[in-house]
Amino acid sequence: MAQHESPVKSRKPVVSAFLSLISLGLGQIYNGELLKGVLLKIILLLSFCLYVLLVFKSSSELLFLSVLFMLFVFLKTYSIVQAFIKSRTLGPSYILKAYNRFYFYLVFTILFIALNIALPLTLAKHALMHMTPYHPFRSVHAKERYLEMYEKCSKEWPVESETKMVDTSYGQTFIRISGPDEASPLILLPGASATSLMWLPNIKELSKSYRTYAVDNIYDFGRSVFTRPIKTPDDFVNWLDELFNALELGDQINLIGLSYGGWLTGQYALRFPNRLDKIVLLAPASTVLPLSFEFLKHAVIAMIPHRRFTKSMMNWVLADWLNSENAKKQLLDDWIESIYLGSRCFKPKMLVSPTVLTDQELQSLKVPALYLVGENEKIYSAQAALERIGRVAPQIEKKIIPDAGHDLTVVQAEMVNEIVLEFLKRPLE
């Protein structure tokens, strides 16, 4: 019986280089160097995992990212060049291996793409939920550094207050309470990357007539400490409801949210309208319209872990504040610094993406609602937002704040306070 001979087929240098270009190590496998191709993939996978572990322990994210990028470029260059040279030395008599098949190349690539995503994500979830004594910060030093800045800013709180850590199934929520003991409750929810201290320009007036509860978001910067991940809008709403129950606020709650907090206010109003008296949506994230491309572009750039990009993003979003002659520039500087410091000191995590309410959801908002937006709003068009509300949900009261953008509660604090208080105090029809 004649023996079956393995097929012979020459290796093409350009093909091997191209394969390594589209998938690290694939050119080596094409040339019969399976072990070398797999090792290159494993080195890259381990470097991704090491990067994740380092980021959750240290704020030197830009350094780690730079090193990872240089390693990737080195491995990719080596894979392409080595595969090209090796193909030229093999000559026309290369005996095909059993794995020199298109389907093997495809499975190899898909497998390592999946591993490069799944394994680092698994490690990230573990690191995020690892309850160290300094959780949710990256380190003891990071905790000390951030809280020093936080306490410095909290000294500017203009009215007498008390603070509480309130237990929920999602962790401990930090709240700053001001105003008369027997007054109606008014909950203040901050924007993304902000804390209860963002209400500094408004709290004095709001606390004259209401018992105000300024909240540090359970899954964001500030003093709150999460023990469960927040994955969905329902998680956020359930956390808020538990918080209100723990505070024994009853069913006549006034709820105000700015930006991300405005979106959360709308979500809570949809689920638990009977617990609310009135709501105020201050330039809520999404909710009425999708976030603009310009805003998303600036937000992506701001993810680069350097103070310069954070400052550039905030100066763009808060342009009216930056150019105002009356608003305090030191407060703006402190706000920007606290956001940058938060991004460096806290374990990295992803907030739930805010969503746009459907026509039916907007129409179903039966809680008396006030919508305020600055005429120079950057996250979406103020005029288009008012147009949609007027067309879809005319029951929502709406106003544009002149000479303001996303910073309406600061640059037009007196006007916003007056409009909000007039709305809250107005008897229900």
- State pLDDT tens for residues 266-310: 999 999 999 999 999 999 999 999 999 999 999 999 888 888 999
Same domain (yes/no): 66, 215: no
Residues 56 and 149 in one domain: no
Q: Where among 109, 129, 149 does a domain terminate? A: 129
Match 């470029």 to its residue by tokens. Answer: 73
Note whether 361 and 326 are same-domain residues.
yes
84: closest CA among 7, 41, 21?
21
Is the same domain home to 347 and 379?
yes
Q: Which of 102, 129, 156 is the last residue of a domain?
A: 129
> Comparing 26-30, 126-130, 300-304, 344-348, which segment has the lowest mean pLDDT?
300-304
Q: Residue 136, preceding bond cis, omega within 30 degrees?
A: yes
How many Cβ atoms are within 10 Å of 235's Cβ, its own excluded? Answer: 16
In a domain, 1, yes or no: no
Q: What's the domain range around 120?
A: 13-129
pLDDT of 41 over the 60 cut = yes
Is residue 290, in this structure, part of any structural domain at all?
yes
Helix (H) or strand (E) holding 121: helix 102-129
Count the domains in the chain: 2
Residue 106: pLDDT above 60?
yes
pLDDT digits (tens, 9 = 90+) for 163-189: 999 999 999 999 999 999 999 999 999
In a shared domain, residues 172 and 223: yes
Mark whether 154 and 50 lie in a shared domain. no
* In a shared domain, residues 164 and 114: no
Is 8 part of a structural domain of the chain?
no
- DSSP assignments along 330-390, one per residue: HHHHHHHHHHHHHHHHBPP--PPPP-BPPHHHHHT--S-EEEEEETT-SSS-HHHHHHHHH
pLDDT score of 5: 53
Tell me, yes or no, whether 419 and 302 share the same domain: yes
Residue 253: inside a domain: yes
Mean pLDDT of the region 350-365:
95
Q: Is 135 among the domain residues?
A: no
The answer on 201 and 102 residing in a single domain is no
Distances in Å between the Cα of 19 and the Cα atoms of 14, 26, 80, 150, 233 are 9, 5, 8, 51, 43
Question: Please, which pLDDT band fits residue 364 given cuts at 50, 70 and 90?
Answer: very high
Going by pLDDT thresholds of 50, 70 and 90, the confidence category of residue 1 is very low
| Percent of the chain residues topping a pLDDT of 70 | 98
Does residue 148 belong to any structural domain of this protein? yes
pLDDT at 2 over 80: no
pLDDT reported for residue 403: 94
- Above 50 in pLDDT, residue 113? yes
Answer yes or no: is pLDDT of 329 > 80: no
pLDDT per residue over 44-56, tens digit each?
A: 999 999 999 999 9
Q: Which CATH number fits the domain that encloses residue 147?
A: 3.40.50.1820
Mean pLDDT of 364-392: 96
Q: Residue 198: what pLDDT?
A: 96
Same domain? 304 vs 421:
yes
Which positions are annotated as active-site residues? 406
The pLDDT tens digits of the residues spanning 57-91 come to 999 999 999 999 999 999 999 999 999 999 999 97
User: Are 62 and 178 contained in the same domain?
Assistant: no
- Residue 134 in any domain: the answer is no
CA triplet 382, 414, 209: central angle to 5 degrees?
110
Say whether 154 sits in a helix, a strand or coil.
helix
Of the residues 103, 129, 155, the one at which a domain ends? 129
Asked if residue 275 is part of any domain, the answer here is yes
Select from 343, 351, 336, 335 the least CA-distant residue to 61.
343
For all residues of the chain together, what is the average pLDDT?
94
The phi and psi torsions of 189 (rounded to 5 degrees) equal -105, 130
Q: What tens digit of pLDDT does each residue of 189-224 get?
A: 999 999 999 999 999 999 999 999 999 999 999 999
Same domain, 313 and 282: yes
What confidence score (pLDDT) does residue 327 get?
66
* pLDDT value of position 6: 65
